[in-house]
Structure 1
Amino acid sequence: MFRFICLFLIWLALTLPAQADMPEPQESSFWQKEVGNGSLPPVQQRIPQEPLVIDLAAKGRTFGEQGGTLRTLVSRSKDVRQMVVYGYARLVGYDQNYKLRADILRDIEVVEGRKFTLHLRKGHRWSDGHPFTSADFEYYWKHVAQNTELSPAGPPQHMIVDGVLADVTFPDAHTVVVEWPTPNPQFLQLLAQASPFFLYRPAHYLKQFHTDFTDAKTLKKAIKKARVRAWAALHNDRDNMYKFDNPDLPTLQPWMNASGTKSSRNLFVRNPYYHRIDAKGVQLPYIDIVEMTIVGGGLIAAKANAGEVDLQARGLDFPDISILKKGEADGGDYKTLLWANGAANQIAIYPNLNFADPVWREVIRDVRFRRALSLGIDRRMINRALYFGLAKEGGMTALAKSPFFDPANLFSWSIYYPAKANALLNEMGLIERTADGIRKLHDGRPMEFVIETAGERQEVENALAIITDTWREIGIKLVMRPLDRDILRNRVYSGLSMSAVWFGWDNGLPQAYTPPEYLAPTHQEFFAWPKWGQYYQTGGEVGEKPDMPEAQRLMQLSWDWDHTTDVEKRAEIWREMLAIHADQQYGIGILAEAPQPVVVSKRLRNVPEVAKWAWDPGAHFGIHRVDEFYYDEPFQQLSQ
C-alpha cells in the first residue's frame, strides 16, 4: 500500500500543472463598454485570484489576440451541447498527451485512490459574476443527488463504490472532500469526460426552483408559467448544464449561451469570468463569439466546401474528403486536415442480446450466429468501395497504436469466409429455406435480420448495401431501417431493436490506466446489451441481470480492474476482456482508422495539423483547447 501511495503522489506531481507567474491581466475589448459604464467589473476583479495561466509558447503554440466570430454547423437543435464538449472546462481534464490536469480546480489531492480533496480557485465566479464555491457542490449533493423527487433512482451509481455511497464534505468555501472506504480509480476520469459528471450546480440560480428554498406560492406561479406539473420538472428543465440550452443558467465554460429563443442560429459569447488567461495576461477564450447554425446533416459538407464554416469536423466523413480537397484547391479560404480517428471502429453492427422477440433472442445469443454474420462480411470490398482501401479491415478491438493491440483479435471471425458461415448456421439447425434461398427460423419465419441506423452517414448505408449481397449468400436477408437518432436509441434501450449500427468503442487506444468498464455490460449505451447496462446503472431497479457466462466474466474482470493497483495485472485484465470480445463478436466491427476530415479557416491559428479526433477521452475539439484558437487580424466584435 505504501508503494501505491508513493507512486500515486509521483503521478499527481507530474500531471498537475505548475502555475506560471501571474501576468498583469488585460481588459477585453469585447466587454470594454460594460466595464466603462460600470455594469461589469474590470478584468482584474473578474478572474480568480489564481487563474489558470497558459504558457502557449511552452505548448508550441503562438499567442493571439481577442476577437472574431467562429462559425460551425450542427445538424440538430439539441447539439448546442457541443459547446460544452468543445469548451471542455472541467474540474480536471486531459491535456493533449492524455494526462489528467487540474483545470477549474486549483489542484486536487488524492490519498490511496479513495480520498479526493478538491481545492477551488479563490475568487472564481460563474458567468453571471456570482462566486463559485463549495456551496455549489453542497447544493448538488444534498439537494439534487439525494432528493428523491429530483433523483428518483437515487444518487449516481458512480458515486457508489462496493455498495458504499461516497462521503462528501465541505470543510470551507474552497474545499470539497469526496471519500470512499475503498479506491475509486474511475473518479477523475468521470470528471474529465466529454459528457462529464457535474458534481456541482449554480446553487444561487437553481434555488428559486427548489421547494427547499422557495415558498410554495412563488414556486406555484413559476410552475404554472413554465407549463409543467411539479417543481421537480421545473427544476430539471432549468438544470441542464450539459444540454446548454438554458441561456439563464450560469456556466463556467469559455462561452455562454446568448440565444434568447430557439432558432437555427445560436450565438455563444465569451464568458467574462472565465478562469484561464495566457502568459501575457490576455483572458481566454481568444475568440469572442461562436456562431452555431443548425442545418440538415446532408448539407454540412457542401456548406463547408462553400466556405461557410471556420471549424468543422462533426457531420463530415471520409467520403467528403474529395469534394473538400477540390474546393480547397479551387481557391477555398480553408484547409482540410486529416486527423487520426480514435474510435475502435468506423462502422460496427450490434446484434441485441436483449431483443424482446424470444425466438430471435435465442438465435442472436448463439455465438455461432454472430460469428456467421461477421464471416459473411466482405470487408475488403467495403474498404475499396468506400475508403479507397485506406481503412483497416477487421473486427472491433484496440487500435494498432494501443499496447493491447493483437492481430489475432483483429482478424478473429473477421475474414470473409461464407462457406464457414454457412456451416455454422447449418450447425445451429437453421437449415430450412424459403423459395428464394432465405433461411427460416425455428418457428418458420424467414430470417430477415433488421439493422436500424440513425441514417446520418451515407457510408454506413453504402456498407450495409454491400453486406446485404454477401449475407444473401449465407441465407440471411438484411433489412435496413433508417430512424431518427433518438428514436433509434430508445428502441434499442427498450429491447425493440433487433440490431443497430453505430461507431465502435469511443476509446480505441486504451492504456493500462484506462477503466475497461465499457467492455463490460455496465452501460445501456453499448447497443449489444442495453438491458444489462440498465440493470447495472440502476442498481437492479430496471433492466435484466447478465445471464451469459462470458458477460458475467466481463463484469468480474471490470470489478477486478477496479480493485487492483498492479499495472501488469490491469494489463492482463484488458487483454482477456479484448480476447472475449473478439471471440464472442458482441459488436461486429467492419473497418477502423479511416481519417477524419477537419475543415479549418486559413485565418484560424493554433489548430493542430496532426491530431486525434475522439469522443472520449478527447471531447472531439475539446482536448485541443478551442479557447486557445484565434484569428489573424480578428474583427473586433461589439458587445450587444
Structure 2
Amino acid sequence: MITRRTTLGMLASMLVPGTSRAAPEPAFLRPYLRAQTLPVLSERIPKNPRRVNLAAMGREPGKYGGTARMLIGSQKDIRYMTINGYARLVGYDENLQFQPDILESFDVQEGRIFTFRIRDGHRWSNGSYLTAEDFRYTWEDVILNKDLRKGGVQRELLADGKPPVFEVLDELTVRYTWSAPNPDFLPGLAAASPIILLLPSAYMRHFHKKYQDEFRLSALMKQYRAKKWADLHIKMSRQYRPENPDLPTLDPWMNRTAPPAEQFVFERNPFFHRVDENGLQLPYIDRFLLNISSSEIIPAKTGAGESDLQSTGVDFSDYAFFKDSEKRYPVKVKLFKRTEGSRIALLPNLNCSDKVWRNLFWDVRVRRALSLAIDRHEINMVSFYGLGKESADTILPDSPLFKPEYASAWASHDPDQANALLDEVGLTQKNSAGIRLLPDGREAQIVIETAGESTLETDVLELIKDHWMKIGFSLFIKTSQRDVFRSRAMGGDIIMSMWNGLENGVPTADMNPSRLAPSADDQLQWPVWGMHYLSLGQNGHAPELPEAIKLVELLKEWKRTVDSAQRARIWHEMLEIYTQNVFSIGIVNATLQPVLHSSHLHNVPETGLYGFDPTCYLGVYMPDTFWYSSEVS
C-alpha cells in the first residue's frame, strides 16, 4: 500500500533542481513504482548524479519513451550496447578529453597515483550499492587470483612490469599507486573494451570459491555447465558482451535475454546515474530490440525500414540506397567521418618466412616504390566517390598532432619514381611480360591476403593490380577466415595483407602511440616483433630493423613521461619515422560512415567521428540522450 508519506517522498524525489516543478518518472517504470518493487527517483540515483546539460551541448532536452530496433550479425554483437552505451569510470567527451562518469571525481598525481571518488548513493541495476568493496573484490579476488587470471595482471595495469598498490581509503574512495607513471590507465578505462576494475561483488561472490561453499558452488557449475569454478565465474561476470541477464550493470540499458536467442531485449536501467538539466533520469529511450540477421542482408533490411538506429553492419557503399529509403520510410541517414589512419591499408609482412621477400621488404625503397605506384585518386573516385582523403596511413586533421607531411609521405602517384627506386634496389631483370625478377629468379608476384569480410578490399586490390603492373609487379588476391588469416601472418606464411590502417587516427598526445611501434601480435606488418613486446620478451623475437627498434624505444620513453609536451614530441618523432618508412601503405582515410536513424529520433548528431577507438562508435555522442518524438527531427 502506498502511504501519504510515500507519495510525498515520490513527489519530492522528482523535483527539478532549482524549481518546484516535479520531474516525471518514466512511464515504463510506473508499474514497478506502484508495486513498490522500485524505490523513488531520489533513492535510485546518486546524491550527486552526473548532470548532462544538453542545451549547452547544442541539443534538445528530451522526454521518456520508445523502443529502438537495431540489427546485429551475431549473438556476440550485443557488445554494441556496451560500446554505444559508453558508461565508464572515466570516459572521453566529444572533444576526446577525459571526464569522470561513473566516478564522481578522479585525481592523478605524478602520473602514477590515481585516487577515485565514488558517487554517494550510486547503485547497480539490481539496487545494490556501489562501494569501495566492489573495487576491492575485483582487484584482490579477481585480478590477483591466479585461477581467474592465468596470464597474470594485464599490461595496462603494469608500469615497469609491476602492478599497483591498491588501497581502500574509505567506503567511497579507492586509490591505485604505481612505482612509475602509468599513462595507459585512464585511456584503458575510457576504451571501447575497457579495463575491468569493477564487478558487483555482492552478486559475484556466489560464484567464487572463496565465498561460496563447495556443495553450492558445485551445483552452480552443473547448472551453468562449467567444468571449473573459474570458468563459471568468468562466464557469469562477462560485462563487455553482457550475456548474463542476472549480472548487475551500470550501463544505461541492461540485457533481459539469455542466449541463445534471435532477438535480445535491453531495457532501461532504473538506477542509471545520469540526469538531464530538467532532472529527467537518462536514458530517454526505454528499450532496445537487437534482432540477429545475416550480416550480408543487414544493409538491405536497414534500407527497408527494419532498424531505428544503425551504424554497424553497414558501409559507405550502402549510402545511396539509404538515401533512397528516406523517400519511402520515416528514416534519415547521416554521414560521420571514420577515424582509421587509412580505411584500408597494405601491410608488407616484415616477418614473413620467405627470406627473399623479407629482405626486399626490409629495404625502405621497395616499400616506398609500392606506395608511389598506387593511384590513390582513382581509388578514391571509384570506391569512395571522391569523398575520402588520399593519404598515407597516418592521423587525421582532426587530431591536434596532425601535420600535412605525414599524410603526403610517399603517397603521391609517381610510377616513374617507383620504377627508379626498384631499379636502384637491383630489380632490373624482367620476363617477357614485363614482370620483374626477384634475386632468386622468381617472378615478382605478391599474394595479398585478406579476411574476405568486405567487397571493398577486393575491389580496391583489383585497381592496385593494374597500378603495380606498371612497375613490374603482379598481384594475386587470396581470402581466408579472420582467425586463419592472422595465424598465417604470425607464422610468416603471408607476404602481404590488407587490413584497416591505424585504428586511432584522432589521437591526443596523452593517448598511447603503441600502434606506431611493434607492440602487438595483431599488427600484420610485424606480428613476431609485436609478440615479443607483448609477451615481455617471452615469445617472438626483438625487431632487427633500426627504425623499428627506435620506435620501440620511443614508445617506452612515452610510457615514462608525464609531461604532455614531451609526449607530443615523442608522438611526432614516431609519426615521422612511421610514415617516412612506409611500414604500412595507406590509401584513403577520412572516409564516410552512414548512420541511419528513425526520423522521429532526436539528438543524433548531424556529423561526428566514427570508430571503435576512441569514439566507441556512437558512444561519445551519448545515445542515452537520444529521444523519440511524434515530430521528425
SS of the aligned residue for 1:144 comes to helix
Structure 2 portions without partners, runs of 5+: 1-15
Match of 1:354 in 2: 351
* AA at the equivalent of 1:207: R
Structure 1 portions without partners, runs of 5+: 1-18, 635-640
Structure 2 distance, partners of 1:472, 1:310, is 46
Structure 1 distance, partners of 2:139, 2:527, is 28
Match of 2:291 in 1: 293
Match of 2:477 in 1: 480
Shift of 1:290: 0.9
Match of 2:13 in 1: none
Structure 1 distance, partners of 2:251, 2:488, is 33
Q: 1:210-256: CA deviations, max 9, x gaps?
A: 22222333333333444443222222222321122222222111111
* AA at the equivalent of 2:247: L
Shift of 1:496: 4.3
Q: 1:163-216: CA deviations, max 9, x gaps?
A: 332111112221110112332233212111122112122222322332222233
Match of 1:510 in 2: 507
Q: 1:112-141: CA deviations, max 9, x gaps?
A: 222111011122121122222222211221
Structure 1 distance, partners of 2:323, 2:437, is 48
Structure 1 distance, partners of 2:385, 2:575, is 28
CA 1:266–1:442 in 2, change beyond 3 Å: closer, same or farther?
farther
Do the aligned partners of 2:347 and 2:498 also contact (CA within 8 Å) in 1?
yes
Structure 1 distance, partners of 2:223, 2:433, is 61
Shift of 1:71: 1.5
1:535-614 alignment runs, 5 A limit? 535-614=532-611
Shift of 1:371: 2.0
Structure 2 distance, partners of 1:377, 1:88, is 39
Structure 1 distance, partners of 2:440, 2:303, is 52
Shift of 1:487: 4.0
Do the aligned partners of 1:47 and 1:125 also contact (CA within 8 Å) in 2?
yes
Do the aligned partners of 1:153 and 1:538 also contact (CA within 8 Å) in 2?
no
CA 1:293–1:493 in 2, change beyond 3 Å: closer, same or farther?
farther
Match of 1:162 in 2: 160
SS of the aligned residue for 1:109 comes to strand
Equivalent residue pairs, number: 615
Q: 1:459-504: CA deviations, max 9, x gaps?
A: 2221111112222333333222233344434444554443332222
Matched, 1:524 2:521: yes
Which one of the candidate residues 274, 277, 281 is aligned to 1:276?
Answer: 274
CA 1:486–1:203 in 2, change beyond 3 Å: closer, same or farther?
farther
1:100-499 alignment runs, 5 A limit? 100-328=98-326, 330-430=327-427, 436-443=433-440, 445-493=442-490, 495-499=492-496
Shift of 1:614: 2.7
Q: 1:573-606: CA deviations, max 9, x gaps?
A: 2221111111211111001112222112110001
* AA at the equivalent of 1:56: L
Match of 2:614 in 1: 617
CA 1:73–1:506 in 2, change beyond 3 Å: closer, same or farther?
same
- Give TM-score scaled by structure 1 length: 0.90
Q: 1:500-535: CA deviations, max 9, x gaps?
A: 322222322333333322222223333222233333
CA 1:487–1:225 in 2, change beyond 3 Å: closer, same or farther?
farther
Shift of 1:386: 1.4
Shift of 1:446: 4.3
Structure 2 distance, partners of 1:255, 1:564, is 38
SS of the aligned residue for 1:169 comes to strand
Shift of 1:444: 5.2
Shift of 1:431: 5.1
Q: 1:22-44: CA deviations, max 9, x gaps?
A: 99664222122222223333333
Structure 2 distance, partners of 1:338, 1:145, is 41
Do the aligned partners of 2:334 and 2:606 also contact (CA within 8 Å) in 1?
yes
407-416 or 79-88, larger mean C-alpha shift: 407-416
Structure 2 distance, partners of 1:369, 1:497, is 17
Shift of 1:336: 1.6
CA 1:404–1:50 in 2, change beyond 3 Å: closer, same or farther?
closer
- Give TM-score scaled by structure 2 length: 0.91
Structure 1 distance, partners of 2:52, 2:391, is 41
Do the aligned partners of 1:26 and 1:43 also contact (CA within 8 Å) in 2?
no
* AA at the equivalent of 2:90: V
CA 1:261–1:560 in 2, change beyond 3 Å: closer, same or farther?
closer
Which one of the candidate residues 36, 39, 63 is aligned to 2:61?
Answer: 63
Structure 2 distance, partners of 1:86, 1:93, is 12
* AA at the equivalent of 2:372: L
SS of the aligned residue for 2:59 comes to coil
Q: 1:322-352: CA deviations, max 9, x gaps?
A: 2222222x24311221222222211111222
Q: 1:521-560: CA deviations, max 9, x gaps?
A: 2233332222333332332233332332111211222222
Matched, 1:41 2:39: yes
CA 1:26–1:484 in 2, change beyond 3 Å: closer, same or farther?
farther
SS of the aligned residue for 2:116 comes to strand
SS of the aligned residue for 1:350 comes to strand
* AA at the equivalent of 1:629: F
Structure 2 distance, partners of 1:153, 1:357, is 32
Structure 2 distance, partners of 1:608, 1:277, is 19
153-162 or 560-569, larger mean C-alpha shift: 560-569
Match of 2:9 in 1: none
* AA at the equivalent of 1:215: D
Structure 1 distance, partners of 2:76, 2:516, is 28
SS of the aligned residue for 1:424 comes to helix
SS of the aligned residue for 1:164 comes to coil
Do the aligned partners of 2:243 and 2:258 also contact (CA within 8 Å) in 1?
no
Do the aligned partners of 1:157 and 1:538 also contact (CA within 8 Å) in 2?
no
Q: 1:387-412: CA deviations, max 9, x gaps?
A: 22222112112223434333333222
Structure 2 distance, partners of 1:487, 1:71, is 33
Structure 1 distance, partners of 2:586, 2:285, is 39
Shift of 1:439: 4.3
Structure 1 distance, partners of 2:202, 2:570, is 45
Match of 1:74 in 2: 72
Do the aligned partners of 2:75 and 2:259 also contact (CA within 8 Å) in 1?
no
Structure 1 distance, partners of 2:488, 2:78, is 24
377-386 or 23-32, larger mean C-alpha shift: 23-32
Structure 2 distance, partners of 1:212, 1:359, is 56
CA 1:496–1:250 in 2, change beyond 3 Å: closer, same or farther?
farther
CA 1:21–1:299 in 2, change beyond 3 Å: closer, same or farther?
farther
Structure 2 distance, partners of 1:352, 1:561, is 26
Shift of 1:160: 1.5
Structure 1 distance, partners of 2:42, 2:376, is 59
35-44 or 136-145, larger mean C-alpha shift: 35-44
Shift of 1:274: 0.9
Shift of 1:356: 4.1
Match of 2:12 in 1: none
CA 1:360–1:526 in 2, change beyond 3 Å: closer, same or farther?
same
Structure 1 distance, partners of 2:271, 2:448, is 48
